[in-house]
Structure 1
Amino acid sequence: MLKTPGKGLKKEAAVSEVMGTVLLTGIVVIMLSALGVAVFSMEGPDDVPHTNVQEILDISNNTIYLKHNGGEPVSTENFKIIANINGMRHEYTSSQICESLENSSVWKIGDTIEINSMDAWGVDLGNDDKVELFLVDTPSNELIQKSTLTSALQKNPDLSLCFTPMGDITDTSTSGKNAAKKGYGENWQVSAIDSTTNEYKIATNENKNCTTYYPPTGMINTSIYQEFNFGVKPAAYGIRPGDTFSNVTLIIYYYTHDSTPANNKKDDCDIKFEYYYIDEYGQGKWEYYNETFPAHNSDFEYEYLNLTDRINTPKDLANFKVRIKASTTAAESSEKEINVDYIGLSIEEDNI
């Protein structure tokens, strides 16, 4: 005879399963808590400034301009500039940036950093150079901005540019019966205005900041000249085939030295300028400018040649060069010479 279980008996079979679930849940909570403490105790990434930068590359004076155009201000001690020029790495440090901003500790909207590549890195920028720029936030080592720089005219088609000779300067003149002195010139001597009337007294031509040309006595000799080859590559400035120019002016800053006492000096130097252009048939031609230029016997002075009618296409610009041809009635003892301190071709591109 079967017995019915009494009311005093307990059911304990499911207790272990409930306790196991509670223990597992507790372990998971503890692990998640530990993970959360570890994660939230870590430092977050540095806040990289969000800044809009306008870059202009001016090849004519080896200068890179970086203008803060909008966004957050940047602490100068927290960023540096890396330039990659034709595959070579160059750095512009935080202290150099601060100095460029007139010792300001913050680069803010409207401020411009100017980097002269010759002064900073000894690099003479050419028309075909590839320049990449990296603005780096130093605390995070993250990029603020990366740019491939273009030239000024590419950034602003209405901009006026002035080209100085990038090619060779040739001088075929000599001084004295035995041609002991020869004319001389290099393109760095005519890229900036920095001469004084005492420069001709320096013994060696190499140390002058101006060129030297000795005009022959008598009539102008077509084989005796000083030639400035500008060597411009228009494409490097964003100038395209079919573009035309306006307001083309050759600017010349020169001095006609002679050793005659000041009270006896006369305008005894006949100076002509000849320029090279491409005619309507595609042929290159030398042509004299229609004016004779004065002697500047007392100091360096400017003269301006309007060449708009002749130099008005990219092909003209690419082939542009100019010659000085002169003669003098002065005696050899006067040591007559023409010193050119600056020569530049200023152009504006038609807005078409």
Structure 2
Amino acid sequence: MGQVLIAGITFSALAIVGVVLFAQEGPEYTPQIEIQQRVDASSDILYLKHSGGESLSFSDLDLIVIIDGNKKVLTEEEIQGCTGKNSWSLGDVIEIDLYKTWGVHLDSDNCVDVFLVDRGSKQLIQKATMPIEGMCSPLMNPGKWYFFTTVEGDDSDKVNLRYLHDCDPAVNFSAVPDEKYNDTFLGIEGKEYNPKNNFVHELKGETFGLTFGFRENDFKWPGAHNATILMIYSLQDQPSEFSLEIAGENMPIFDPVNCASNKWHMYNQTVPINLNSISDLKFNIHVNVIGKKSIEIDYLAVCLN
């Protein structure tokens, strides 16, 4: 990615169709505009060049820049200050000093998205992602369930994370994000819950701990304030030690009544979090049971809001 961001990058052409709505009656006028853009990480400058087509007044344009999920909007006055003109014509370059304008320093890991929006109609004219479309980490969307990509701790080498992606088809998660906390027995009309490729760890009177997480480049952090853990588990005995944490915040433990049932239950709990990186979104399980019992996990996912 870094080789695309250095100075001297060849402009990449974009064909942009602008939509201008006039107050008078008649067909919509659609100017044809070609834009070239590049980012120079060494100087923190974003360049947008008008390389063909008709002029566009800055009073008709909203220019939005999103850097790693942080939205910045360039005002009409700021655009004029970058060009010294009131409109964008052939050969004109909008040169945005990201550090001078917003205090942003770029590096090879940054993802820069540019949106050109027609101010009158609020319609998107064009979106461009730099350095290359598809090279930036995807945003972790709030309200969607995600599976952890890393695991550390006891028996972590025996944990196949894909085994925690599925469960008995009889379980319906469609309403789970909106439901209140529950730690309930799974089984419909007296039928037993049928686990899929579940993880099993034998508890031999020793402390057991696993930490699930994400790699830094797996997703872009959405700035969420709450995290929900959804887990399907079975624990054969009440633990003498037990704790659950997400992003360093304590979570309610399993219902003690369920721990000795040797049945499958669904854990669904939300807690507030405060962090700035996806790599800090870690879920910790710490448990100790006296006797030769086991803990099993058939499904594990996290949802941010």
Give yes or no for TM over 0.5: no
TM-score for the superposition, normalised by structure 2: 0.39
More strand by share: 2
TM-score for the superposition, normalised by structure 1: 0.35
More helix by share: 1
